[in-house]
């Protein structure tokens, strides 16, 4: 004890610590500095040690006074005083080496000294401080582990819900499967028809452009022909005014002019027919444009549905990204969990070793306690046998008392009857004596008269 690895506290600090941390109720109120200094009280020191053992090992103070009484032990009452001290001594001898105190003796219980008790109590105080710190660390780790487990469960629930949502978005219910198939078939048919009509519209547009080009060319040619005709008419009028020709030449020229006019009329009629055809074509094109607009509206509806599907796909992709993130977090949590499990495994191994040692000690203690309990059971059986005998004797005594009471009642009744008979007999005897006396008096009178007569 010359070189301590723990600080030796003052008496005030020790008293305050044990009053707050170890003792409870009236014991904490009555425990003062005078119990330790200047001369420690053995009873106070023993109660302190008992309470420390109860705090650490749940070994109640009443268990120290249990005496392992055997059948052959004489005067078991003499062992009751020493068993409590010996049990505290053995438990403290087992406990104090963990507090780095290796030389605990019976004098520390029966006749404690000031400095010695202060060092032992300060060692126990240091051990309790260390135990409290370790308990706090273990509780923090347990809370962290529980929080991580709760987070892991929440993440797994979120992942399951996201998977369910993804399945709900990707899978079509069987009730709507037929409608979805019909819509898909209708979409494919609409796409095919729209593509075919787009091709037809493009062909018609190409033909319309060609007809427009030809019409423009012919209109230009007509304009040129009209200009030429007007120019020729002007030239003819000028020539008529200037030249007087022969009638034959005029007739030939007039015939040529009539042929030209006929040709021009024929060309105009042909152009009118072409214009009518083109108008019909334009009407057909407008009709086709209306149909195309209807198809465009259908295509817009399809585009809106495709945009909705794209949005759902984007949501699906976002959910998949969240799912991947949560999987990564799960992996990280699994890694942390593995590390925590390894640390817990190491701790559990250490705890298992300690538990094995404790179990061995507990088994030894339990064997001892079982032996003590067996002896106590034997004593209790003997006591129960004696109690049964006492009950039988008390029952017999009660029976005797009841029989005595009944006999007393019968005797009292018979005495009353005898007293009544005695009273009646005494009265009858008195009456007889009185009658006898009367007869004797009568006889004496009669004798006196007879004597007088004689």
In the chain, where are the structural domains located? 11-163, 174-231+261-352
For 302-325, what is the mean pLDDT?
A: 78
For 13-42, what is the mean pLDDT?
A: 87
CB atoms under 10 Å from CB of 76, counted, come to 13
DSSP state of 366: H
Report residue 265's pLDDT band, with 50, 70 and 90 as the boundaries: confident
Residue with the bigger pLDDT between 239 and 252: it is 252
Rounded alpha-carbon distances, angstroms, from residue 324 to 162, 163, 317, 329, 331? 11, 11, 10, 9, 10
Would the pLDDT of 78 be above 70? no
For 54-66, what is the mean pLDDT?
A: 78
Report residue 145's pLDDT band, with 50, 70 and 90 as the boundaries: very high
Q: What is the DSSP string of 105-133?
A: -THHHHS--HHHHHHHHHHHHHHHHHHHH
Q: Which pLDDT does position 133 carry in this prediction?
A: 92
CA-based nearest residue to 82, from 101, 68, 100, 98:
68
Could you tell me which residues come within 8 angstroms of residue 119 by beta carbon, excluding any fewer than 6 positions away? 1, 4, 8, 101
Indicate the range of 146-160, 183-197, 417-431 predicted with least confidence. 183-197
Report residue 198's pLDDT band, with 50, 70 and 90 as the boundaries: confident
Percent of the chain scoring above 70 in pLDDT: 92
pLDDT, tens digit (0-9, with 9 covering 90-100), for 266-312: 877 887 787 787 778 778 777 877 777 777 777 777 677 777 777 87
| Per-residue exposure over 331-341, b if at least 16 CB sit within 10 Å of its own CB, e if not | eebeeebeebe
Which H or E element spans position 16?
Answer: helix 11-21
Quote the mean pLDDT of the chain: 82
Report residue 79's pLDDT band, with 50, 70 and 90 as the boundaries: low
Residue 2 dihedral angles phi and psi, to the nearest 5°: -70, -40
Would the pLDDT of 74 be above 80? no
Would the pLDDT of 3 be above 60? no
Q: Which pLDDT does position 141 carry in this prediction?
A: 93
Q: Which pLDDT does position 2 carry in this prediction?
A: 46
Percent of the chain scoring above 90 in pLDDT: 9
Q: Which pLDDT does position 247 carry in this prediction?
A: 66
Would the pLDDT of 206 be above 90? no
Residue with the bigger pLDDT between 75 and 427: it is 427
For 77-87, what is the mean pLDDT?
A: 74
For 105-121, what is the mean pLDDT?
A: 89
Q: Which pLDDT does position 1 carry in this prediction?
A: 39
CB 36 within 8 A of CB 113: no
Residue with the bigger pLDDT between 102 and 251: it is 102
CB 125 within 8 A of CB 14: yes
Indicate the range of 75-84, 99-108, 263-272 predicted with least confidence. 75-84
CB 101 within 8 A of CB 1: yes
Residue with the bigger pLDDT between 297 and 389: it is 389
Indicate the range of 119-123, 320-324, 387-391 predicted with least confidence. 320-324
CATH number for the region 11-163 comes to 1.10.418.60
Please tell me the pTM assigned to this model.
Answer: 0.39
Q: Which pLDDT does position 202 carry in this prediction?
A: 84
- The CA R_g of the chain, rounded to the nearest whole Å, is 67
pLDDT, tens digit (0-9, with 9 covering 90-100), for 149-159: 999 999 989 88
Q: Which pLDDT does position 232 carry in this prediction?
A: 80
The two three-digit tokens of residue 180, written as one number: 């979805």
Would the pLDDT of 240 be above 80? no
Q: Which pLDDT does position 243 carry in this prediction?
A: 55
Q: Which pLDDT does position 69 carry in this prediction?
A: 54
Rounded alpha-carbon distances, angstroms, from residue 402 to 137, 281, 407, 410, 412? 74, 141, 9, 12, 15
């Amino acid at each position: 004890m010359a070189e301590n690895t723990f600080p030796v506290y003052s008496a005030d600090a020790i008293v305050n610590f044990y009053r707050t941390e170890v003792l409870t109720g009236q014991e904490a109120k009555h425990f003062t500095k005078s119990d330790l200094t200047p001369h420690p009280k053995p009873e106070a020191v023993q109660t302190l040690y008992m309470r420390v053992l109860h705090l650490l090992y749940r070994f109640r103070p009443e268990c120290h006074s249990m005496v392992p009484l055997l059948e052959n032990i004489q005067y078991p009452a003499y062992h009751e005083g020493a068993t409590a001290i010996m049990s505290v001594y053995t438990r403290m001898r087992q406990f104090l080496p963990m507090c780095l105190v290796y030389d605990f003796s019976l004098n520390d219980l029966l006749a404690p000294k000031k400095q010695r008790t202060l060092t032992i109590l300060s060692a126990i105080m240091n051990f309790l401080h260390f135990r409290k710190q370790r308990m706090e660390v273990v509780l923090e780790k347990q809370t962290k582990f529980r929080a991580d487990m709760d987070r892991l469960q929440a993440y797994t629930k979120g992942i399951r819900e996201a998977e369910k949502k993804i399945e709900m978005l990707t899978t079509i219910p069987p009730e709507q499967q037929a409608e979805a198939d019909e819509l898909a078939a209708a979409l494919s048919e609409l796409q095919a028809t729209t593509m075919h009509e787009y091709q037809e519209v493009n062909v018609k547009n190409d033909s319309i452009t060609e007809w427009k080009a030809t019409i423009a060319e012919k209109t230009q040619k007509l304009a040129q022909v009209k200009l030429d005709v007007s120019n020729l008419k002007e030239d003819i009028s000028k020539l008529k005014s200037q030249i007087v020709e022969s009638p034959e030449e005029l007739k030939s020229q007039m015939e040529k002019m009539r042929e030209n006019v006929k040709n021009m009329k024929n060309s105009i009629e042909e152009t009118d027919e072409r214009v009518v055809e083109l108008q019909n074509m334009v009407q057909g094109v407008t009709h086709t444009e209306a149909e195309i607009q209807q198809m465009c509206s259908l295509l817009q509806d399809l585009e809106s549905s495709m945009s909705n599907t794209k949005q759902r796909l984007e949501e699906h992709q976002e959910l998949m990204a969240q799912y991947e993130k949560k999987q990564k977090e799960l992996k990280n949590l699994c890694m942390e969990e593995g590390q925590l499990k390894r640390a817990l495994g190491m701790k559990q191994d250490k705890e298992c070793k300690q538990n094995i040692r404790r179990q061995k000690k507990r088994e030894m203690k339990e064997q001892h306690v079982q032996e003590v309990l067996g002896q106590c059971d034997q004593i209790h059986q003997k006591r129960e046998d004696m109690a049964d005998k006492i009950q039988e004797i008390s029952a017999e005594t009660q029976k005797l008392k009841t029989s005595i009471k009944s006999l007393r009642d019968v005797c009292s009744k018979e005495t009353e009857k005898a007293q009544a008979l005695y009273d009646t007999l005494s009265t009858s005897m008195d009456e007889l004596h009185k009658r006898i006396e009367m007869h004797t008096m009568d006889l004496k009178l009669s004798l006196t008269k007879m004597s007088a007569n004689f």
